[in-house]
Amino acid sequence: MSLAHINIFLAFTVSLMGLLMYRSHLMSSLLCLEGMMLSLFVMATMVVLNTHFTLASMMPIILLVFAACEAALGLSLLVMVSNTYGVDHVQNLNLLQC
Amino acid sequence: INMFSSLMLASLSVLTLPIMSSILNTHKNSTYPHHVKNIISYAFITSLIPTMMFIHSGQETIISNWHWVTIQTLKLSLSFKLDYFSMIFVPVALFVTWSIMEFSLWYMHSDPYITRFFKYLLTFLITMMILVTANNLFQLFIGWEGVGIMSFLLIGWWYGRTDANTAALQAILYNRIGDIGFIMAMAWFLFNANTWDLQQIFMLDPNLTNLPLLGLLLAATGKSAQFGLHPWLPSAMEGPTPVSALLHSSTMVVAGVFLLIRFHPLMENNKTIQSLTLCLGAITTLFTAICALTQNDIKKIIAFSTSSQLGLMIVTIGINQPYLAFLHICTHAFFKAMLFMCSGSIIHSLNDEQDIRKMGGLFNAMPFTTTSLIIGSLALTGMPFLTGFYSKDLIIETANTSYTNAWALLMTLIATSLTAVYSTRIIFFALLGQPRFLPLTTINENNPFLINSIKRLLIGSIFAGFFISNNIYPTTIPEMTMPIYMKLTALTVTILGFTLALELSLITHNLKLEHPTNMFKFSNLLGYYPTIMHRLPPLANLSMSQKSASLLLDSIWLENILPKSISQFQMKTSILISTQKGQIKLYFLSFLITLTLSMLLFNLHE
């Protein structure tokens, strides 16, 4: 693989690490989710443009749309948590209460 | 040289002078009421001349002077129809109004707004004149609405009183429901006869007249307080007594009957509508007579008596005798206005006491009022050769000998005897026996205004029937030969009513008061009609509209069906079936370790 591809792939992996390992704030995993989405988008666009695979050039844009939806969902969950506790520390989520 | 039309127009236009004087501000002085009364008396005398010319020659006139507008093919102009009906009604109405104005000079003497009161009464009179002399439906509608508005203003004269305001509003609402019928009839005539002129409608003689005549019947039901739209008339007694005497006994409530009489060429040919009017009038007259039996307010008893007589007039139209109904309108005006004025005299003398259970013994204390009350009641019940006899007895005779609905006839006869019953009740409670009012009284009937006005109507009540019947030209031939029991029917039931009421009153006068029976409650609460109809239909309408508009559409279909139901369902099931404790970091870390391990395994496995 070329250097650019490895670069982006590394960015993706770092974001994945950040998503799965965080200390207390829920917000940081959401941010890493966005980072993953961003790196995927860039990777897909680079591959499509370099191989002139024009038919698949819809794919990054659709990916963007769905990522926006999931970001909204994540944020609403954050807001729900923040409504009950005031802060979004993950150690608060030990009670399954609605 | 024929001065017929100019004299009639002069007498009608002279009435509008005091109204226009309010522009010049001459109406602030204290003699304005006297001016108004004098002007009405002059108008009365002026209108007698064309009436006598009419009686002498039978000449009918139509004055059509000002072409107002032509809307495509409809020509509207200012047009007065001076025929049999309007020529006789105008002097009668002016005479009665003259007496009532003089009476209200005494009755409303201490009222600070007496000039405004007289202005309102005069405006009412003008709109009533417009109504009866109208030749096209548009002008009639102007007069129709005008009397409705003035009725509202006059019923709510003492506007500080809640009951008066609700009564005025009730009058307007019920009249409006009748106006729907009127407008429907106007629309039908516009579409099918291309005109609103009475002459053209009668000339064209349309075939299927069910719909417009139904509309006119609905209008008469609203304006003349027939059964179904009747509760506004007893409530309208919240207004001052002159208002009750003028509007709600002689002039406004006969507007509905007058409308039906005007359309008698169309009603002659339509048997269905005639049967409908007959049954409606019969129900009204019996129902309101039953309600009048147990009322305790003297004005309400007389109001129900008016309602019952109006039902009788509608019955007369139903047996195809419009001229008899018109005669009854004219004679009824005299004694009903006088009855109201006598009750006003009693009320004022007993310091605004209207409950007959607190009156009594006025036979010796107020001889003049007593005389006129008794003569008025006798005229009302149709005592031979007083005024009421000439119209009421003829109506009963004609109904007896015509090919008509026997049930309606029976109802009318029962209502006639009930008329005698409640009249006896008024006389018994208000006049006879020992006094039941407070000892410190202000009984005084010495005022010349009071005495003169009642005296004029008294002479009218005794002689007017004879006078009018002998001077009008014969229209429909009354039935001359009938068996003797039929001829004496009206007299017999009336005497029966009198004796029954007198005996019952004397026997039960000193008995202990018991709990009211069901029949008593039915009669006293006006047959439960206002109680039910003023509460249930508005509640049903409003709750149904609220449920269908906001509850059904907005909150159920938009909110509840998908979003809220899904969220409720999910929350319940997730609480039910999950056993997790929420250790997110642990779960994420295990996921990461699994991922790394699997990647290492798959890549380094050779």
Contacts of A27 in chain B (CB under 8 A): none
> What is d(CA B167, CA B344) in angstroms, rounded to the nearest whole number?
19
> What is d(CA A49, CA A33) in angstroms, rounded to the nearest whole number?
24
Helix, strand, coil percentages (3-state) for chain B, rounded to 5, are 75, 5, 20
Give the tokens for residue B281. 């009038």
Percent of chain A with pLDDT over 70: 94
Give the tokens for residue B194. 């291309």
**Model pLDDT for residues B99-134, shown as the tens digit of each residue:** 999 999 998 888 888 888 888 888 899 899 889 989
CB-based contact B574 A21, cutoff 8 Å:
no
Report the candidate in B470, B330, B262 with the shortest Cα–Cα distance to residue B309: B330
Compute the CA torsion angle B259, B265, B268, B269 (nearest 10 deg).
-120
DSSP state of B134: B
Q: What is the CATH number of the domain that holds A84?
A: 1.10.287.3510
DSSP state of B140: H
Which residues 4-23 in chain A show a CB within 8 A of chain B?
Answer: 16-17, 19-22
Report the candidate in B262, B413, B402 with the shortest Cα–Cα distance to residue B325: B262
Distance from the A71 Cα atom to the nearest Cα atom in chain B, whole angstroms:
18
Domain assignment of residue A74, yes or no: yes
Distance from the A61 Cα atom to the nearest Cα atom in chain B, whole angstroms:
28
- Tell me what pLDDT residue B549 has: 83
- Tell me what pLDDT residue A96 has: 55
Report the candidate in B526, B469, B329, B493 with the shortest Cα–Cα distance to residue B409: B493
Give the tokens for residue B65. 């002077």
Side chain identity, residue B348? H
Contacts of B583 in chain A (CB under 8 A): 94
Contacts of A28 in chain B (CB under 8 A): none
Lowest mean pLDDT among B39-48, B182-191, B298-307, B581-590: B581-590
- Tell me what pLDDT residue B359 has: 87
Is residue B74 within 8 Å of B194, Cβ to Cβ? yes
Q: Is A80 helix (H, G, I), strand (E, B) or coil?
A: helix
Unique residue bearing structure tokens 């010495």 = B446
> What is d(CA B222, CA B214) in angstroms, rounded to the nearest whole number?
12
- Tell me what pLDDT residue B563 has: 83
Report the candidate in B290, B334, B324 with the shortest Cα–Cα distance to residue B308: B290
Residue B82: strand pairing partners: B61
Is residue B404 within 8 Å of B316, Cβ to Cβ? no
Domain assignment of residue A62, yes or no: yes
Find all residues with CB under 8 Å of B507, minimum gap 6, and list them: none
DSSP string, B530-573: HHHHTTHHHHHHHHHHHIIIIIIIIIIIIIIIIIIHHHHHHHHH
The arithmetic mean of pLDDT across residues B528-539, rounded, is 88
- Tell me what pLDDT residue B597 has: 92
CB-based contact B588 A20, cutoff 8 Å:
yes
Domain assignment of residue A97, yes or no: no
Contacts of B575 in chain A (CB under 8 A): 96, 98
The 10 Å Cβ neighbour count of residue A90 is 19
Q: Which of A28, A91, A96 to mutate to test the interface with B (most CBs of B within 10 A)?
A: A96
> What is d(CA B8, CA B19) in angstroms, rounded to the nearest whole number?
19
DSSP string, B293-345: TT--BHHHHHHHHHHHHHHHHHHHHHTT-HHHHHHHHHHHHHHHHHHHHHHHH
What is the CA A13 to chain-centroid distance, rounded? 11
Domain assignment of residue A98, yes or no: no
DSSP string, B28-39: GSTTHHHHHHHH
- Tell me what pLDDT residue B361 has: 84
- Nearest CB among A16, A93, A98 relative to B582 is that of A93
Report the candidate in B506, B524, B505, B504 with the shortest Cα–Cα distance to residue B516: B524
Res B163 pLDDT > 60: yes
Report the candidate in B257, B260, B239, B258 with the shortest Cα–Cα distance to residue B248: B239
Domain ranges within chain B, ordered by starting residue: 138-512
DSSP string, B218-250: HHHHHHTT-TTS-THHHHGGGS-HHHHHIIIII
**Model pLDDT for residues B254-285, shown as the tens digit of each residue:** 888 999 999 998 888 888 899 999 999 999 99
- Between chain A and chain B, the number of residue pairs with CB atoms below 8 A apart is 32
Side chain identity, residue B310? L
Domain of A66, in residue numbers: 3-92
**If pLDDT is split at 50, 70 and 90, which confidence band does B585 have?**
confident
Number of H helices, E strands in chain A: 3, 0
Find all residues with CB under 8 Å of B35, minimum gap 6, and list them: B18
Q: Largest alpha-carbon pair distance within chain A?
A: 52
**If pLDDT is split at 50, 70 and 90, which confidence band does B529 have?**
confident
Residue B403 or B309, more confident:
B309
> What is d(CA B249, CA B242) in angstroms, rounded to the nearest whole number?
10
- Tell me what pLDDT residue B215 has: 93
- Tell me what pLDDT residue B482 has: 82
Q: How many domains does chain A have?
A: 1
**Model pLDDT for residues B47-87, shown as the tens digit of each residue:** 888 888 888 887 777 888 788 888 888 888 888 888 888 88
- Tell me what pLDDT residue B182 has: 93
- Nearest CB among B571, B582, B589 relative to A94 is that of B582
Res B94 pLDDT > 70: yes
What is the CA B217 to chain-centroid distance, rounded? 14
Res A97 pLDDT > 60: no
Is residue B32 within 8 Å of B22, Cβ to Cβ? no
Percent of chain B with pLDDT over 70: 98
- Tell me what pLDDT residue B24 has: 67
**Residues in B lying within 8 Å of A, measured between beta carbons:** 571, 574-575, 578, 580-585, 588-589, 591-592, 595
Side chain identity, residue B266? L
The arithmetic mean of pLDDT across residues A82-89, rounded, is 82
Chain B residue with minimum CA distance to A97: B575
Res B1 pLDDT > 70: no
> What is d(CA A89, CA A85) in angstroms, rounded to the nearest whole number?
9
